């Protein structure tokens, strides 16, 4: 006879195997695709699957206090797998967005430089026209200046677009750090090596200078569901 508890255990077991199979499909899709859009989609799917796996693990642990260690060990590959896949996709997105931003910065810099050069050229022609005593030459200079300013205005309407992230992906600023001189790091921020938890806590409190650390702002992708 199947008890309600057994039925619940069976259902959890089936969902566990479904999540495990889902992880394999996600990994296969990533291996075959590797686009920013796919990465954003997989981050969302991994996050949902990881959340559901956590709920099922908690439910399975509840009535089996003595067996919690073995139960956790069973679920660990699935939860670790989704978490790792999510971080892989996030890392890919961060690199993809940074590459687009770097490229956009170069294009924008070239655009700004050309527009500034046109503005300077237009002003120079206008100065020459004002100081010119020959009427024909002055008219020629004024026409050249007008043409340069028309090109300047046209270029202004063609401003390069900013780097765009895949649909549903935004960017937020995340404070990160790395040790540049462990000897200078105060004792309350170390445990022989840099104490990540203490440093992150200090950053959240607004501290921006810690001896021996280089603190910088990194742009990280934020996937919106």
How do residues 40-57 score in pLDDT, each as one tens digit? Answer: 888 888 888 888 888 888
Same-domain status, 18 and 94:
yes
First to last CA, the chain: 43
Q: Domain count of the chain?
A: 3
Please indicate, yes or no, if residue 45 is contained in any of the structural domains: yes
CA-wise closest residue to 103 among 145, 47, 160, 57: 160
Full-prediction pTM beyond 0.75?
no
Please indicate, yes or no, if residue 103 is contained in any of the structural domains: no
pLDDT of residue 3: 41
Judged against a pLDDT cut of 70, whether residue 6 lies above it is answered with: no
Please indicate, yes or no, if residue 187 is contained in any of the structural domains: yes
Beta carbons of 81 and 118 less than 8 angstroms apart: no
Same-domain status, 10 and 78:
yes
Same-domain status, 152 and 187:
no
pLDDT of residue 167: 58
Please indicate, yes or no, if residue 219 is contained in any of the structural domains: yes
Same-domain status, 73 and 147:
no
Same-domain status, 9 and 92:
yes
Same-domain status, 132 and 177:
no
Same-domain status, 178 and 149:
no
Half-sphere exposure of 189 (CA within 13 A, CB side): 21
pLDDT of residue 187: 81
Among the three residues 134, 157, 180, which one is the final residue of a domain in this structure?
A: 157
Please indicate, yes or no, if residue 162 is contained in any of the structural domains: no
pLDDT of residue 1: 34
In a 3-state reduction of DSSP, which class is residue 7? helix
Report long-range pairs for 1-8 (Cβ below 8 Å, ≥24 apart).
5/63, 8/59
Angle between helices 4-32 and 36-61 (to 10 degrees): 160
Same-domain status, 9 and 88:
yes
Among the three residues 53, 68, 98, which one is the final residue of a domain in this structure?
A: 98
Q: Which residues constitute the domain of residue 129? A: 108-157
| Maximum separation of any 2 CA atoms in the chain, in Å | 111
Please indicate, yes or no, if residue 28 is contained in any of the structural domains: yes
Please indicate, yes or no, if residue 163 is contained in any of the structural domains: no
How do residues 142-188 score in pLDDT, each as one tens digit? Answer: 888 888 888 888 878 877 766 565 655 666 667 778 888 878 888 88
Please indicate, yes or no, if residue 164 is contained in any of the structural domains: no
Beta carbons of 26 and 85 less than 8 angstroms apart: yes
């Amino acid at each position: 006879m199947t008890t309600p508890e057994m039925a619940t255990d069976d259902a959890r077991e089936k969902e566990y195997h479904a999540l495990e199979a889902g992880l394999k499909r996600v990994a296969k899709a990533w291996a075959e695709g590797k686009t920013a859009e796919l990465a954003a989609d997989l981050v969302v799917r991994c996050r949902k699957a990881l959340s559901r796996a956590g709920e099922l693990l908690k439910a399975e642990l509840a009535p089996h206090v003595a067996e919690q260690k073995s139960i956790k060990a069973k679920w660990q590959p699935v939860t670790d797998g989704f978490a790792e896949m999510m971080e892989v996709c996030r890392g890919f997105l961060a690199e993809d967005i940074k590459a687009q931003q770097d490229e956009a910065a170069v294009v924008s810099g070239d655009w700004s430089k050309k527009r500034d050069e046109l503005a300077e050229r237009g002003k120079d022609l206008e100065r020459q026209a004002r100081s010119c005593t020959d009427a024909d030459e002055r008219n020629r200079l004024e026409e050249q200046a007008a043409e340069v300013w028309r090109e300047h205005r046209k270029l202004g309407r063609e401003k390069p677009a900013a780097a765009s992230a895949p649909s549903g992906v935004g960017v937020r600023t995340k404070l990160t750090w790395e040790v540049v001189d462990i000897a200078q790091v105060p004792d309350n921020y170390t445990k022989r090596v840099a104490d990540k938890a203490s440093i992150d806590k200090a950053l959240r409190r607004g501290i921006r200078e810690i001896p021996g650390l280089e603190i910088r702002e990194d742009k990280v992708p934020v996937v919106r569901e």
